[in-house]
Amino acid sequence: MAVEEYQPLMLGLDSHAQIPDLSTGEIEEFLEHGPVAIRWYPRLVAWESRLLWLLSGASIIVLLFNYMLSFVTLMFTGHLGALELAGASVASVGIQGMASAVQTVCGQAYGAKQYGAMGIICQRAIVLHIGAAVMITSLYWFSGPALKAIGQSHSIAAQGQVFARGLIPQLYAFAISCPMQRFLQAQNIVNPLAYMAVGVFFLHVLLNWLVVNVFDYGLVGAALTLSFSWWLLVIIQGIYIRFSPSCKETWTGFSSSAFKGIWPYFKLTVASAVMLCLEIWYFQGLVFVSGLLPNPTVSLDSISICMNYLNWDMQFMLGIAAAASIRVSNELGAGHPRVAQLSVIIVNATSTVISILFSTIVLIFRVGLSKLFTSDSQVIEVVSDLTPLLAISVFLNGMQPVLSGVAIGSGWQAVVAYINLATYYIIGLPIGCILGFKTNLGVAGIWWGMIIGVVLQTLLLFVITARTNWASEVIFGFALTLYHCFLLVS
């Protein structure tokens, strides 16, 4: 085509005011034309960044406030240790991982304008997730013996079991809520999710105060309150999906088609669950291993403080990763490989800049951060020594979750699961144990093992992403969407 044919679009790029009016199809056509002049790069960056922050801003709020539901419950039940809460939350991590399959298939279906298939895919996911919750329920019910088996005292195991049993309703709410959240996010419906998360959070704080402090229902009351709050989220999300005009094309009611083609979709959900579980359990395993060091109290306190900050940073970066997944899956489904590639570049550059800022803050306030959690001088000293390693981990958090989000949007969950297994458990964890127990590094040695595993995983994901033929990914995404749509009508 002649260059003159692209002049209207080029003029649009010359005006920031016109950037929001440009469609992804027009940008794809422009990028397909050939090399882009340097003077247009700022406009392209601004265009993609705007879309990214419209999605990631609300996604960050949703993740942070959903995360704080458990955090608030932990605060109100101060006699319950973080280890028990983490143990009770392990199954929820698996279900959350399974839900990323919804993000892949629904995101690409939305980009391909196969709107009718999206609601059925969401229902199919809910069916599978409830099935998983049924199988996991026994682990919650008999969590007491499991806690004793890993060395916990009888009193702590008893408390952990009471809390876990109170979370069984939350397990089923989580199994329904996660697919519905991904279903809405795949359609770029994120602001309503943020309003829901914030509203339920403030109600949750009030209910915890009433149940624990006023009526003194203790541990079981706190657990049931957490379960109630999650079910409230499910009800509000369900009402929105059913009655919102935004979902009138993607949600057409319940259908028996959700039970068709379960096995192929199940394989994708398993790969998604394994991918995330291997990652989360790796960090939880390092905390557990720290408790086996010669001075376990100081080691656990110090690494728990650092991991707490890392978890908050992770929630922020996962919000950006969710936006990256939505952008990539939508553009692949729409047949826009160059726009998908542009999204990957912009989101990685953005997250890297943010992670550098967060790492700098961690280094500047290295002593103050530890004093927020403890007054023990020995723990403060160990945390201060660990702060440079925490800063490295925060920096890596700017790339690793985002690359994982790109992988989810592209449907690479199985590949990433193998990468996580190799880098985390075959390389990172053994190196951490050797450095922690066989040298004088102690808890710092365990953290170095974590960093080595994350660095290797990040490098492999970066190489895979950099070498990706996005035109081929469009064909793969179209085939995946067509396949799952075919299963709905076969």
Q: What is the pLDDT of residues 347-403, one digit of tens each?
A: 888 988 999 999 999 888 877 777 776 677 787 888 888 888 889 988 887 788 788
Can you give the length of the chain in residues?
490
Residue burial 355-387, b: 16+ Cβ < 10 Å; e: rest? beebbeebeeebeebbeebbebeebbebbbebb
Tell me the mean pLDDT per 10 residues along the chain, length 490.
44 43 71 64 81 88 87 67 42 54 73 82 87 84 77 68 86 90 89 95 94 85 92 96 92 82 72 73 72 70 78 84 85 83 88 90 81 74 84 85 79 82 89 88 86 91 85 64 53
Looking at residue 44, its pLDDT comes to 81
Q: Do 277 and 448 contact (CB within 8 A), yes or no? A: no
Decide: 386 and 302 in contact? Cβ < 8 Å.
yes
Residue 249: phi and psi, rounded to 5, are -90, -30
User: Phi and psi of 237, rounded to 5°?
Assistant: -65, -40
pLDDT for the residue 173: 93
Question: For 222-272, how does the pLDDT look when each residue is reduced to its tens digit (9 = 90+)?
Answer: 889 999 999 999 999 999 999 999 999 999 888 887 777 677 777 777 777
Distance, CA of 259 to CA of 480 (rounded, Å) = 18
Which residues, including other chains, have CB under 8 Å from residue 452's CB and lie 6 or more apart? 427, 428, 431, 432
Q: How do the domains of the chain map onto residue ranges?
A: 3-36, 49-489
